[in-house]
Amino acid sequence: MAVLLLGTFDTKGGEYAYVRDLVTAAGQEVVLVDAGVMGGASLAADIGPEAVAAAGGADLERLWRAGDRGAALRAMADGAAAVARDLYERGRIGGVLALGGSGGSSIAAAAMRVLPVGLPKLLVSTMVGGDVSAYVGQSDVTLMYSVVDIAGLNSISRQILGNAAAAIAAMAAAHDQRRAAGPAGEDRPLVAATMFGVTTPAVDAARARLEELGYEVLVFHATGSGGRAMEALAAGGHFAGVLDLTTTELADELVGGVLSAGPDRLTAAGAAGVPQVVSLGAVDMVNFGPMDTVPEHFRDRRLLVHNPTVTLMRTTPEECAEIGRVIGEKLAAARGPVALFVPRGGVSAVDVPGGPFHDPEADAACFEAVLRAVAGSDVQVVESEEAVNDQGFAVAAAERLHELIQKGAV
């Protein structure tokens, strides 16, 4: 298999020729795909921009004549994604490397995001110093900051691009070796679990029990991107079950925190009929960055500096009631088996007697709202006087998920 070098050769042909030579010198073949629209490329491609545009349902000459850069970028991104997917499905590529500014990065990232997790994807970009969530999405794209603009070769860019070429060549070689070796041992059913720092003891205990029961557990950090990744994989049919102990991202979505996973959080498994056990982990908090980034209208709220880069805000009884209602309605709409575990002893490590976020009134508002929302539905309800991080609560949740999965397999 080869390394796919994907980019705009009309503006960066020299840089791509440089990394091409380094990758081939490292023992990897390359496939060159040009997604540029301006013409006059200095590097010949294996798949040219006309073919890329056509794969995206567009005509290159019309894109060029229209003079609409945004439309051209969207069309070439769609085409690049289609080309990359086709090359992968035909077994032609074992890795992808791209170099770009904002436009080139958007095209390359679109192609990388449609490729499966585990296939090496390396993007060298001028945009890495900012918010890169739009480029990464829910994929395993590796990002490298270009330091200088990708506009010619110089003493700095040669070092950066040299590292990138060496990295993708090594990653592609390792990927090829894994594919040749086949699966490492017998495949086990996959279970997803959601975790936050303040629910770690619960997920650790549940994960250990699920592994004893024969599952492979994928833990997703509930930081927005983690929740979106889990939802995407659940929608794709990857999981036998979901242990969603940590639904904190819905608090951020409601109140305006920085770790929202979007309005579709807690929907994919239900829509796909995947067995779920869901709890209310860390709905006592909304997340912000450093203390000085907390919005002014929240400064009089109960705040906790979790670490120098994360400030937590305690949710109010009114907010907790709305969070409970939303969670309950999402669970009641699920097409598959669902169990709701209610930890009346506390929903996080800091929401226990003596803890800085202990608030029985707020917790009760959440519990009452979620129970009202699932009343009369097929959702199984398990109420416990334990806290979410108590081992008995976590193990019971894991064992209930196993029961739901086993019943569905009969």
Same domain, 305 and 172: no
Task: Pick the closest to residue 110 from 80, 133, 88 (CA basis).
Answer: 80
Note down the domain range covering 334.
Answer: 190-409
Same domain, 394 and 323: yes
Domain boundary among 145, 163, 181: 181
Same domain, 211 and 122: no
Domain boundary among 181, 206, 223: 181
Task: Pick the closest to residue 357 from 263, 284, 249, 280 (CA basis).
Answer: 284
Structure tokens at 250: 């819905």
What is the SS3 assignment for 68?
Answer: coil
Give me the pLDDT at residue 130, please: 77
**Half-sphere exposure (Cβ direction) of 398: Cα atoms closer than 13 Å:** 28
Cα Rg of the chain (Å, integer):
24
CATH for 19: 3.40.50.12020
Give me the pLDDT at residue 184, please: 57
Q: How far is CA 26 from CA 46, 58, 143, 180, 351, in A?
A: 20, 36, 21, 19, 54
Give me the pLDDT at residue 356, please: 97
Task: Say how far apart CA 158 and CA 166 lie, in whole Å.
Answer: 12
Same domain, 56 and 150: yes
Structure tokens at 333: 């709409």
Task: Say how far apart CA 203 and CA 216 lie, in whole Å.
Answer: 13
Task: Pick the closest to residue 323 from 243, 395, 256, 236 (CA basis).
Answer: 256
Give me the pLDDT at residue 410, please: 46
Domain boundary among 162, 181, 200: 181
Give me the pLDDT at residue 185, please: 46
Same domain, 88 and 14: yes
Same domain, 90 and 209: no
Give me the pLDDT at residue 247, please: 98
Q: Which residues, 6 or more positions from 366, have their beta carbon under 8 angstroms from its beta carbon?
A: 280, 283, 320, 321, 323, 324, 347
Same domain, 198 and 105: no
Beta strands 303-307; 338-343: pairing state: unpaired
Same domain, 164 and 225: no
Task: Say how far apart CA 230 and CA 217 lie, in whole Å.
Answer: 12
Question: What global pTM score does this model have?
Answer: 0.79
Give me the pLDDT at residue 135, please: 84
Same domain, 171 and 204: no
- The three-state DSSP-derived secondary structure of 88-144 is HHCCCEEEEEEEECHHHHHHHHHHHHCCCCCCCEEEEECCCCCCCHHHHCCCCCEEE
DSSP 197: G
Same domain, 163 and 229: no
Same domain, 167 and 255: no
Same domain, 69 and 142: yes
Taking phi over 0 as left and psi of -120 to 50 as alpha, with beta for the rest, 78 belongs to alpha
Q: What is the rounded (10 degree) CA torsion for 26, 46, 138, 188?
A: -70
Give me the pLDDT at residue 132, please: 84
Q: What is the rounded (10 degree) CA torsion for 64, 70, 75, 79?
A: 100
Task: Pick the closest to residue 120 from 148, 86, 145, 143 (CA basis).
Answer: 143
Per-position pLDDT tens, the chain of length 410: 999 999 999 999 999 999 999 999 999 999 999 999 888 888 999 999 999 999 999 999 899 888 888 899 999 999 999 999 999 999 999 999 999 998 999 999 999 999 988 999 999 999 987 778 888 887 899 999 999 999 899 999 999 999 999 999 999 999 999 888 876 545 799 999 999 999 999 999 999 999 999 999 999 999 999 999 999 999 989 999 999 999 999 999 999 999 999 999 999 999 999 999 999 999 999 999 999 999 999 999 999 999 999 999 999 999 999 999 999 999 999 999 999 999 999 999 999 999 999 999 999 999 999 999 999 999 999 999 999 999 999 999 999 999 999 997 64
Task: Pick the closest to residue 279 from 303, 236, 250, 257 (CA basis).
Answer: 250
Task: Pick the closest to residue 398 from 194, 190, 199, 209 (CA basis).
Answer: 209
CA 336 to chain centre: 23
Domain count, the chain: 2
CATH for 281: 3.40.50.12030
